[in-house]
Amino acid sequence: MAALVTGSAFILAVIFGAVANRVSFCTMGAVTDLTNFGDWRRMRMWLLAIAVAIAGAGALQSAGLVDLSKTIYTTPRVSWLSHLVGGLLFGFGMTISSGCGSKTLIRIGAGNLKSLIVLVFLGIAAYMTLKGLFAVWRTTALDPFRFDVTGLGAKTSDLPAVMAAMGGGLVVKQWLYLVVAAALAFFVFANRDFRDSRDMVFGGIVIGAVIVGGWYVSGHLGYLAEDPTTLEEKFVATNSGRAESFSFTAPVAYLLELLLFWSDQSRVLTFGIAGVLGMIVGSCAMALATGTFRWEGFASIEDLAHHMAGGVLMGFGGVTALGCTIGQGLTGISTLALGSFLALGAIIAGSVAAVRYQMWRLDRTDSQASTQISHQR
């Protein structure tokens, strides 16, 4: 069963990587396009992927194929400060390092060596946040600040459960996934320019469907009601021990751990690790097929420093916020978890802040260059 889970995750990730490479799916790019140029198209593609993921996850839940209450996102105690701080740092880091975790993998597949450096620093920082020095800071300074939805009468922190507990009733809980997905889809397709962008429409639908497929593989195909060894419930080949779909921060750390401790039989291939590898392979295949594979390196020491710092911020922020733009922005949001909304909002805010920072630096550099020229004259 473990081979089925990891193999399926790898295939889904190959599709994700290939399509994302082809349509330039990138959350940081979407935020940059909107902030700098007022161009909503890539943002609408991302929102379409979210709509598909929400609708699909809700359908799996309604059909009894997956239990979204058994994920890391919907636990009753929400570490709100961790979501906010982690999201802000991740958003800032992904912008100064030219892309989030998924985009880093896509760029590696297309020959970008800068992203390989980002991946190494992201993986080290993520591992330190899971089990090392950064974990001490996270667990003592951020994680203790929580709110508990059980005080509202809800067993899980997803929006349908909370609204039902507050008087929304069972009907709200059953239909809210569809309502939210339909509202997002209406907004997305209200724009004619986006409707005419067939590649982006295709990309949003496929990537959203991949997230749904991840839930099905991990939460249904990999689910054991009773593990023969422990006689307890088990989700096969997941690092969290719960149902998972795709995320690209902690799994990079687990890939690094697997490579470093290869001879340790307790380290095995998991859903998340297979997803990381599949993304690179899928992107590489598409880059080679379309003739866009190019080796690329750093232009300057300053460029290197920004990418290294961005990798560290993403590693710490992604683990602290329980996910990246994919882990929280698609997978977490598909469960309608309250914490995922906080993390996603913080990621976007951090990215916007980084874009403003980059524009300020550019203006400052231009101003200094102009001053030097005038003095030379």
Q: What is the mean pLDDT of each run of 10 residues along the chain (377 residues)?
A: 96 98 93 92 97 97 94 96 98 94 96 96 98 96 96 92 79 81 97 94 98 98 86 91 96 96 92 98 98 94 95 98 96 97 97 93 69 54
Give the pLDDT of residue 231.
73
**Per-residue pLDDT at 115:** 96
Phi and psi angles of residue 112, each rounded to the nearest 5 degrees, phi first: -85, 110
Give CA separation, 232 vs 6, 60, 219, 223, 263, in Å. 21, 23, 15, 11, 28
Which residue ranges make up each domain of the chain?
A: 2-376
Taking the C-alpha atoms of residue 129 and residue 319, their distance in angstroms, rounded to an integer, is: 6
Single pTM value for the model? 0.94
Look at residue 184 in the predicted model and tell me its pLDDT.
97
State the CB neighbour count (10 A cutoff) for residue 141. Answer: 12
